[in-house]
Each structure stands twice: as C-alpha cells, then as structure tokens.
Amino acid sequence: MLVTRSQTGPARPACFAAASLALIGAVALVATSPSRSAAQSDPAAEQSTSVVILIGDGMGPVQRAAFQYKLYGKHERQPIDDFDHFGVLRTHAKGGGIATDSAASATAMATGVKTKRNYAGVGPDGKPRETLLEIADKLGKSTAIVEDNDVTNATLAGFAAHHDDRDHKRIIAKQYLRKTKPDLILGGGEEVWYPKGHPGKVPDMIEDDASYGTENLVAEAKRRGYEYAWDRKSFSRLEGPKALAMTRTDAILRGVFIRKYNYKNDPYAVPEHEMVAKALEIMSDDPEGFFMAIDVDEIDDAGHEHSPRLLFRSGAEINRIATVLKRYQRDHPNTLVIVTADHETGGLGIETHYQLGGAGVFGVANSPEHFRLDWTTPGHTAVPVPVTSSGPGSARLEGVRDNTRVFDVAKKVLEGETGRR
Ligand SMILES: [Zn+2]
C-alpha cells in the first residue's frame, strides 16, 4: 500500500497549528473587545462544524499509487494522501456478491446502513434512511453535491435521494428539488432535467434521451430559488445560496469523441475543482457550517474502460480538488475532510515495466524509472479502499473499518463534536 502510517501520522502540520493559534488569538480578542462587529466576534461562527466527503469513484489503493508515481514521483506526496489520518474501508454491499456498486456503497457512507446494490439512500428493506446531507440540513447547515458527470448518478444519489433503482435518474432529480433539497447541485446531465424534445443549453454530442418526461425541472429549480448555470460564463456569475449547474456531461463526451480536445478551450466545461471552490466560497458564508459530497466519476470510467488517459486525467483533477479543500481547511479548522472511494474498479495492478501485457508503460515523475499498468476485470472489485482525513473526528477513521464508519464519524462532527477522537 502506498501510504504508510508514518506519512500520515497524527502530527499536525504546521499550517494547521498556525490556524489554531490564529483562532485562539481571535477568541481572546473577542473576550476583551465586546464592541467588535457580530461577524468578527461570533464564537458560534468560529465553532460551527462542516464536513466534506471527496469520493474518487472506483479509486482503490492501486489507483492512488498510480497517481502518485505518474504525477508526483517517489518523493513528493500527492495532495489526496497529504492528510493527518489514514485508514482502510471495506466496501461490500448487503448480499448479491462481494463487490458493491456505487449506490449501495454511497448509501453505507451516507446513512450508516449496508444496503443492496442499486439502492440509493434506502435500506435493504427499500425504506428511506436519513442521510448525512439531511442531518446537516436539519441542523441548519448548507448542503452541496458536486459531480464531474451526471449529477443524478448513483454515488451522489446515495447522499441526496431515496430510491431503490439508481437508474431512475429523473425521479432522483425530482427528489433533489422536492425532498432533500441540496442548496448547491453542481454537475452535469441536463438531459435528465429538461423535458422531452427540449434541446437544453449545452450542444449535444449524442442525441438526448427523450424518454425522461414532460416536466421542465430546470424551470422548476428556478421557481424554487435556484440560480442556473450552463457554461463558464453563467457559472462565474453564481452567487448562491442556491444553485443548479449543468456544466459537465457533454464536455466529458466531447473529450471522448473529439481528437485533441482541450477542456480549457471548452466554454461549456467547468473543471470540477473550480466547482468545489465555488461551493466553498458560497457556503463559507453560512455561520452554521455545511455538508458537501463530491464524486469524481471519471476514475470509475477509467477502470471500466481500462483507459490510462482517463485514469491520469481524473487523478490530476482529484488532487486539484484535494488541494482546494486543504487550503480551505487551513483557514477553517472545524472542517472534517474525508478522501475515500465507494469501491475499486478494474482490479488495477502496478507492475515492473519490462513485464509483458498490461495497458502500457508510464514514466515515474522526476525519475528515470517506469511502471506498467494492468487491469484484471472490466468490473468492480471488493478490494478495501483507503481513506485519508484531517479535521475534527478524523482520528476515528484510522484502522480497518466498514464504510459505514464514515457516517458514524461525520454525523458526530456535524452535530458539533470538534475533538479529533
Ligand atoms: Zn463503476
């Protein structure tokens, strides 16, 4: 395994200690200066807790190791591993084979209940279970889901919907708007939201699925107070507190179908780390704190398709997201940040470069050495997944655990527990 205990031991990084000192200083100042403005002196604002769960979809230990070697080399630690605590999560679903799907695994993390495959936000009996997102909402916190692909996909549905079929995307979208109501819904998949025959805003790469229905859910979202973004320009204008962004899916398809496609030149593609930064910017205004679930789905696609190009592109992006989160956490130490996965995809292995077979040979960054990638299955595996974390409660994510542990720890933090254990 790539990350050792010594790399992710409990020692607080200097920046964390500095932020804590600054916080103590601020509190001391408040105590002696009662005339300061509410924004500067509200200790509740300083103490309210937030939780962010960053899910690399299909990101097992070997995917993390491959990102490390290819993008950072043997010595510089990649951002997703650069957290205080390290553990391992078992991902199996309830029955039906040892390897889970995203819906069951996300539901285990979101609700603390192991469920059946394809079930999102419901227990094995099909009944809704309260999710971390709903708990946060009840506590008056802001909530967000952020996705690099279709925002109604199974992983985020596990956090923000209650339905026993992950493929009923339109039902999931309606539940977002009418039941669970995340303040920020940032991702892609506009064809799920527009009615049959409506061209939407984003130029299509493939024909929209016209079977989704007749209601215009984008119009409904606007009526319910959501700002709406469909490209970089409209995205940059989002101010919140509620927003729906459809700024991903067709961009991903363009990346697949157009040779030499470059996200940077695509007006309809907002990089996911910018979406996360925007969500933090909007939600940091909430004195009660927030909950955010983020999914990087492209890692799972890479595992299903055995595509090194997708693998390394998504690896670079999840590390950019981790960098954004770490920067935020430095200034907001009451934020628990968890980086993990729903399951492993593809049964990836790293081999010495002169071994035969596999999906290609890749250079180790800042080194003359090389390695070979080899996938063993087009499906999901039951390999336990790493979890790295910092912030309140993070020490309790050490060790070998079931993925339901994420719920247990995150719930306590949302409810205000600020100790590290
Ligand atoms: Zn998958």
Closest Cα to residue 392, out of 113, 28, 52, 9? 52
- Cα 31 to averaged position of ligand 1 atoms, centre (Å): 52
Asked whether residue 165 is domain-assigned, the answer is yes
Closest Cα to residue 59, out of 383, 410, 406? 383
- Cα 346 to averaged position of ligand 1 atoms, centre (Å): 9
- Cα 297 to averaged position of ligand 1 atoms, centre (Å): 8
- Cα 300 to averaged position of ligand 1 atoms, centre (Å): 5
Least confident of 43-52, 260-269, 297-306, 374-383: 43-52
- Cα 59 to averaged position of ligand 1 atoms, centre (Å): 10
- Cα 75 to averaged position of ligand 1 atoms, centre (Å): 31
- Cα 73 to averaged position of ligand 1 atoms, centre (Å): 27
* Confidence band for 216, pLDDT divided at 50, 70 and 90: very high
User: What mean pLDDT is predicted for residues 178-188?
Assistant: 97
Say what the pLDDT of residue 78 is: 98
Q: What is the mean pLDDT of the chain?
A: 87
User: What mean pLDDT is predicted for residues 261-287?
Assistant: 91
- Cα 42 to averaged position of ligand 1 atoms, centre (Å): 44
Task: Give the total number of structural domains in the chain.
Answer: 1
Least confident of 35-39, 84-88, 185-189, 217-221: 35-39
Closest Cα to residue 84, out of 19, 20, 14? 14
- Cα 58 to averaged position of ligand 1 atoms, centre (Å): 6
Asked whether residue 412 is domain-assigned, the answer is no
Say what the pLDDT of residue 37 is: 39
Q: For 140, left (φ over 0), alpha (ψ -120 to 50), or beta?
A: left
Domain range for residue 135?
Answer: 40-380
Query: In angstroms, rounded to a whole number, what is the distance separating the alpha carbons of residues 205 and 96?
Result: 35
Ion ligand 1 contact residues with beta carbon within 5 A: 300
Peptide bond just before 271 cis, omega within 30 deg: no
User: What mean pLDDT is predicted for residues 38-46?
Assistant: 45
- Cα 23 to averaged position of ligand 1 atoms, centre (Å): 42
- Cα 378 to averaged position of ligand 1 atoms, centre (Å): 9
User: What mean pLDDT is predicted for residues 313-339?
Assistant: 97
Asked whether residue 401 is domain-assigned, the answer is no
- Cα 382 to averaged position of ligand 1 atoms, centre (Å): 12
User: What mean pLDDT is predicted for residues 75-81?
Assistant: 97
- Cα 416 to averaged position of ligand 1 atoms, centre (Å): 34
- Cα 380 to averaged position of ligand 1 atoms, centre (Å): 6
- Cα 273 to averaged position of ligand 1 atoms, centre (Å): 21
Asked whether residue 348 is domain-assigned, the answer is yes
- Cα 379 to averaged position of ligand 1 atoms, centre (Å): 7
User: What mean pLDDT is predicted for residues 25-38?
Assistant: 36
Say what the pLDDT of residue 45 is: 47
**Percentage of the residues of the chain whose pLDDT score is greater than 90:** 73
Query: In angstroms, rounded to a whole number, what is the distance separating the alpha carbons of residues 304 and 57?
Result: 11
Farthest CA pair distance, the chain? 72
Asked whether residue 393 is domain-assigned, the answer is no
Over 50: is that where the pLDDT of 414 sits?
yes
Say what the pLDDT of residue 268 is: 86
3-state secondary structure of 223: helix
- Cα 96 to averaged position of ligand 1 atoms, centre (Å): 16
- For residues 420 and 155, the model is more confident at 155
Asked whether residue 334 is domain-assigned, the answer is yes
User: What mean pLDDT is predicted for residues 141-166?
Assistant: 96
* Confidence band for 148, pLDDT divided at 50, 70 and 90: very high
Asked whether residue 417 is domain-assigned, the answer is no
User: What mean pLDDT is predicted for residues 125-150?
Assistant: 97
- For residues 377 and 31, the model is more confident at 377
Over 90: is that where the pLDDT of 211 sits?
no
Over 70: is that where the pLDDT of 316 sits?
yes
Neighbours of 300 (CB within 10 A): 30
- Cα 38 to averaged position of ligand 1 atoms, centre (Å): 47
Instruction: Kindly tell me the burial class for residue 46, based on how many C-beta atoms sit within 10 Å of its own C-beta (0-12, 13-18, 19 or more).
Output: middle
Over 60: is that where the pLDDT of 400 sits?
yes
Over 50: is that where the pLDDT of 396 sits?
yes
Say what the pLDDT of residue 6 is: 36
Say what the pLDDT of residue 41 is: 43
* Confidence band for 193, pLDDT divided at 50, 70 and 90: very high
Say what the pLDDT of residue 375 is: 96
Over 70: is that where the pLDDT of 250 sits?
no
Over 90: is that where the pLDDT of 127 sits?
yes
Asked whether residue 233 is domain-assigned, the answer is yes
Say what the pLDDT of residue 197 is: 79
Predicted TM-score (pTM) of the model is 0.88
- Cα 125 to averaged position of ligand 1 atoms, centre (Å): 23
pLDDT in tens, 14-29: 333 333 333 333 333 3
**Percentage of the residues of the chain whose pLDDT score is greater than 70:** 85
Say what the pLDDT of residue 28 is: 36
Highest mean pLDDT range out of 14-23, 188-197, 294-303? 294-303
- Cα 187 to averaged position of ligand 1 atoms, centre (Å): 18
CATH code for the domain in which residue 162 is found: 3.40.720.10
Say what the pLDDT of residue 202 is: 79
